[in-house]
Structure 1
Amino acid sequence: MKNSIYPLLLLFLLASCEEVIDIELPTSEPRLVIDAIIGYNQNNGDPITIGQVKLTLTAPFLQDEIPPAENATVTIIDEENGQSFPLVESDPGVFQNGFPDLEFDREYTLIVNYDGETYTATQQLIPAPVISSAVQGDGFLFDEEEETEVVITFTDTPNERNYYLFSFGFDNFLVVDDEFFEGSDITFSYFYEDVEPGDLLTITLLGIDKNFADYVDLALVQSGESGGGPFATPPATVKGNILNTTTPENFPFGYFNLSEFDTELLTVE
């Protein structure tokens, strides 16, 4: 976890003293961070399930590298039939293979066993509409020379409250709540900076629930301008929906989410 900035300020104020003063920064036991984001797409009748479960540990304030949580086992259980799907670790702390073929209206449970403790969360697959179009525009917000407009259109799913997560690449995300446009055709602009003709832009729309929408909003605020988006470890870690069933007070950070998604590719002109 990140340590307080105040000891660093005190160190700065004492820098002019002749005597070197060593200040021991407070530390805390590292917590497990579980980022489990899994997507589903019908893929014209040939469904695909992709994503990853990434396990890391919280790190002290001055530590640049985020350590992976190694030697864990990760499993997904289909609660409809009890079938177990052990995931395969592709890199230290990263599991990208072995996902079940997801279906709507059924529950899936993530089980992570790490360092003698068990962490679990249960979710359903959240549907998403398709992106009707993503085309390059000629508008700009502040700087015509530095910005590239992309105009995106989709149709909101009617007769229900929906939440969506847009990923524009380059660690840029947008959470959308349909409270004021339920069932409507929606067109909006997103402005990229510093992209060049020939660059390939990837625009992804994911269906999410309110809990994950709130989580991402808070994570985006916490990550601020530090970069990395909401799925890197932010300056102040954000508790998600995963429980420690062995030692409840040693809860993890991160989130388990299942989303249908749609993706559009656009080459900058």
Structure 2
Amino acid sequence: MKQSLLLFLILSVCNSCEDVIGVDLPTSDSKLVIDALLGYNENSGNPIISGQVKLTLTAPFLAEEVPPALGAVVTIIDEQTRIPYVLTETQPGIFGINFPEFEFNRSYTLLVEHDNQVYTATQQMNHSPTIDNVVQGDSFLFNEDETEVEVTFTDLPGESNHYLFSFGFGNFLVVDDEFFEDGQLTFSYFYEDVEPGDLLSITLFGIDKDFANYANLVLAQSGEDMGNGPFAVPPANIRGNIVNTTNPENVPFGYFAISEFDTKLLTID
């Protein structure tokens, strides 16, 4: 079954309307933004842990740069062993070294200490299928300058699933399996401004329903382009799953998620 990207965007937005999610009015106060999507790939017995915890501060409208949040301590705690893993800051506000070896059916807590306040969220790792195939097509959606890429994957059986696709260049798509449960799906994604010889990286994450709803709202607010990550702050302040245990009224932006992932590469002809 082949469906276009446009149809999936319509379905994703409609499905996200089923649940009521609070949206706060924007404020001028600087708030912490925690961008934490971590990925795991079994890689034939040599696991790969990817992703980072990125901390920034909200900036005034039309500001040229988004400032990093400095002076933070970021820890991930394995709730089964209670072992804390203090992450290493590789760039200002970016923590990407010393992750635990994630396992399924085990809870992990993200702990961020910044400006005398403590922020936490607890998650388990979500399963993801592999991408069956990625090929270049010859169709276009709006104009002949677009490049079609056909993506095929098979739904995880026996349960309701949600997925996040990353197509590079800050572009993401949320998909749920309502219309192809336990089956295989082929759909088209259309790139602009790619040239012959360009290498495309397409990644599939398994996510839960709460993250799917959050990502749909962020996509809708940001016009489908989420910049440097799936947690970029949109015009309206959308609640994630991270809480401030020091001052509950000072809610941060962003989301903490752990997902199995699969990536396919494609060189444009």
On whether the aligned pair clears a TM of 0.5, the verdict is yes
- Partners of 1:233 and 1:64 in 2: how far apart? 15
Identify the residue that residue 95 of structure 2 maps to in structure 1: 95
Q: What displacement does 1:236 show?
A: 2.2
Identify the residue that residue 115 of structure 1 maps to in structure 2: 115
Superposition map of 1:128-147 within 5 A: 128-144=128-144, 146-147=145-146
Does the 8 Å contact 2:171/2:226 carry over to 1?
no
Q: What displacement does 1:142 show?
A: 2.4
Does the 8 Å contact 2:120/2:242 carry over to 1?
yes
- Partners of 1:109 and 1:236 in 2: how far apart? 27
Please state if 1:239 is matched with 2:239.
yes
The 4+ residue runs of structure 1 with deviation greater than 3 A are: none
- Partners of 1:58 and 1:149 in 2: how far apart? 35
Secondary structure of 2:29's counterpart equals coil
Does the 8 Å contact 1:223/1:230 carry over to 2?
no
Identify the residue that residue 60 of structure 1 maps to in structure 2: 60
Query: Considering only aligned residues, what root-mean-square deviation do their CA atoms show, in Å?
Result: 1.5
Identify the residue that residue 31 of structure 2 maps to in structure 1: 31
Q: What displacement does 1:225 show?
A: 6.8
Q: Deviations over 1:101-145 (max 9, x none)?
A: 00000000000000111000000000100000001111122222x
Identify the residue that residue 171 of structure 1 maps to in structure 2: 170
- Partners of 2:260 and 2:120 in 1: how far apart? 21
Q: What displacement does 1:172 show?
A: 1.0
- Partners of 2:27 and 2:44 in 1: how far apart? 51
Q: What displacement does 1:27 show?
A: 6.9
Residue 230 and residue 76 in structure 1: after superposition, are their counterparts in 2 closer, same or farther (change >3 A)? closer
Q: What displacement does 1:80 show?
A: 1.0
- Partners of 1:162 and 1:172 in 2: how far apart? 21
Superposition map of 1:148-163 within 5 A: 148-163=147-162
Aligned length: 243
Superposition map of 1:223-234 within 5 A: 223-224=222-223, 228=227, 230-234=230-234
Identity %: 65
Structure with the greater relative contact order (CA < 8 A, sep ≥ 6): 1 or 2? Answer: 2
* Structure having the higher Rg: 1
Gaps of 5+ in 2: 1-25
Gaps of 5+ in 1: 1-25
Code of the residue aligned with 2:108 in structure 1: it is Y
- Partners of 2:79 and 2:142 in 1: how far apart? 51
- Partners of 2:225 and 2:123 in 1: how far apart? 30
Q: Deviations over 1:225-248 (max 9, x none)?
A: 776164323222321000000110
TM-score by length of 1: 0.87
Does the 8 Å contact 1:87/1:97 carry over to 2?
yes
Q: What displacement does 1:155 show?
A: 0.5
Does the 8 Å contact 1:32/1:253 carry over to 2?
yes
- Partners of 1:105 and 1:178 in 2: how far apart? 22
Secondary structure of 1:82's counterpart equals coil
TM-score by length of 2: 0.87
Does the 8 Å contact 2:77/2:85 carry over to 1?
yes
Residue 29 and residue 141 in structure 1: after superposition, are their counterparts in 2 closer, same or farther (change >3 A)? closer
Identify the residue that residue 201 of structure 2 maps to in structure 1: 202
Code of the residue aligned with 2:121 in structure 1: it is A
Q: What displacement does 1:82 show?
A: 0.7
Does the 8 Å contact 1:54/1:94 carry over to 2?
yes
- Partners of 2:102 and 2:70 in 1: how far apart? 26
